């Protein structure tokens, strides 16, 4: 059990004594953006640079999900349980319909192309989709189809259920992973030079106000994060996954991975399995908690 490293005694309660980090798949270039699609009984994740998405099914099979994926990165599911993807290649937010076809939900703001949407989260009560729009997918040759930046910044967007796109957060350097702790609290990772995760208060009209820095990880940066049903934060980091108290103030422990962890999600039929995308590999460890999104 060398991969579990407690810094707080409560960390041990999150795992069965025999819980093991299991290697499920390898040979990816940069595994990212996992999400559990309950209706399809699978975790879907990206290899942005291989221009492919993969699925790990609840029955233990690895399948190519979409190829080319047009450099999809982050994913979530919407209020109908449909898969939502951030497409670097198409510089858009897209939805996969029940018949498997893709619909573009957003690709411009005020007449200008989006940069390259990176990660997306469903608001827990109003059904809006919030996504980050840094420029990695147009700056890095192998992470998209190129292009130039048209927007004047790297914003966080809100797409309402009615399809209205607004940009409530404009004060970040490189907004990246994001997760709702509650209907009025968004945790947003910034992977810019002074990388940290920030808490924003969100109101019913869809505006957002910076409250404070929530936490920062060391080594590495928070690229992706999720919460469990007790509000604990599970964040990616250079050495694995860090588990942090709900207020961001206390690290509870770490799940160490051999390579840098980019992102993670809870999944499985009960929402208790933690899936970790760490550079070349997909890992899984059973927990004794559940993903907050899956319990909503």
Per CB under 5 A, contacts with Mg ion among 195-224 are 223
Site for Mg ion in 3-42 (CB under 5 A): none
Could you say whether residue 118 binds Mg ion (CB under 5 A)?
yes
Q: Which is nearer to Mg ion, 118 or 235 (CB)?
A: 118
Q: Which is nearer to Mg ion, 222 or 287 (CB)?
A: 222
Site pattern 153..182 for Mg ion (x: CB under 5 A) = -----------------------x------
Q: Torsions phi, psi of 294, nearest 5?
A: -80, -15
CB of 133 or CB of 228, closer to Mg ion: 133
User: Which DSSP state fits 174?
Assistant: S
- What sign has the CA pseudo-torsion 21, 27, 30, 34? negative
CB nearer Mg ion, residue 11 or residue 90: 90
Contact map string, positions 222 to 261, toward Mg ion, x by CB under 5 A: -x--------------------------------------
Q: Is 141 left (phi over 0), alpha (psi -120 to 50) or beta?
A: alpha
Which residue carries 């599970």 as its tokens? 234
- Beta carbon of residue 177, minimum distance to Mg ion (angstroms, whole number): 5
Shortest Å, Cβ 31 to Mg ion: 11
Beta strands in 142-272 (DSSP E): 156-159, 165-169, 175-182, 185-190, 196-202, 208-215, 225-227, 233-237, 240-244, 251-256, 263-267
Residue 30 Cα distances to 70, 112, 136, angstroms = 15, 29, 13
Instruction: Provide CB contacts within 8 A for 99, sequence distance 6+.
Output: none
- Shortest distance, CB of residue 118 to Mg ion, whole angstroms? 5
Does residue 277 belong to the site contacting Mg ion (CB under 5 A)? no
Q: Is 119 in the site for Mg ion (CB under 5 A)?
A: yes
Site for Mg ion (CB under 5 A): how many residues? 4
Alpha carbon 76 to its chain centroid, in Å, reads: 8
Compare residues 14 and 262 and give the one whose CB is closer to Mg ion.
Answer: 262
Structural tokens at position 107:
């690709």
Write down the least CB distance from residue 158 to Mg ion, Å. Answer: 18
Return residues touching Mg ion (CB under 5 A): 118-119, 176, 223
């Amino acid at each position: 059990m060398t991969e579990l490293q407690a810094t707080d005694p409560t960390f041990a309660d999150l795992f069965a004594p025999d819980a093991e980090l299991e290697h499920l798949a390898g040979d990816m270039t940069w595994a990212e953006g996992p999400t559990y699609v309950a209706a399809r009984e699978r975790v879907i994740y990206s290899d942005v640079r291989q221009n492919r998405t993969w699925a790990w099914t609840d029955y233990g099979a690895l399948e190519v999900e979409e190829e080319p994926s047009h450099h999809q990165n982050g994913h979530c599911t919407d209020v109908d349980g449909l898969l939502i993807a951030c497409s670097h290649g198409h510089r858009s937010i897209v939805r996969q319909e029940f018949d498997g076809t893709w619909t573009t939900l957003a690709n411009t703001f005020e007449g200008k192309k989006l940069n390259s949407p990176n990660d997306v989260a469903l608001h827990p009560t109003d059904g809006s989709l919030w996504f980050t729009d840094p420029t990695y997918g147009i700056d890095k040759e192998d992470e998209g189809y190129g292009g130039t930046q048209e927007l004047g910044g790297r914003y966080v967007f809100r797409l309402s259920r009615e399809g209205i796109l607004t940009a409530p957060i404009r004060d970040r350097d490189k907004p990246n992973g994001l997760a709702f702790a509650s209907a009025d609290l968004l945790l947003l990772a910034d992977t810019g030079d002074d990388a940290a995760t920030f808490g924003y208060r969100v109101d019913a009209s869809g505006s957002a106000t910076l409250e404070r820095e929530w936490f920062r990880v060391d080594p590495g940066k928070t690229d992706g994060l999720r919460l469990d049903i007790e509000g604990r934060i599970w964040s990616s980091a250079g050495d694995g996954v860090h588990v942090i108290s709900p207020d961001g103030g206390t690290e509870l422990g770490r799940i160490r991975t051999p390579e840098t962890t980019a992102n993670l999600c809870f999944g499985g039929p009960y929402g208790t399995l933690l899936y970790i995308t760490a550079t070349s590999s997909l890992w899984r460890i059973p927990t004794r908690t559940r993903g907050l999104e899956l319990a909503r």
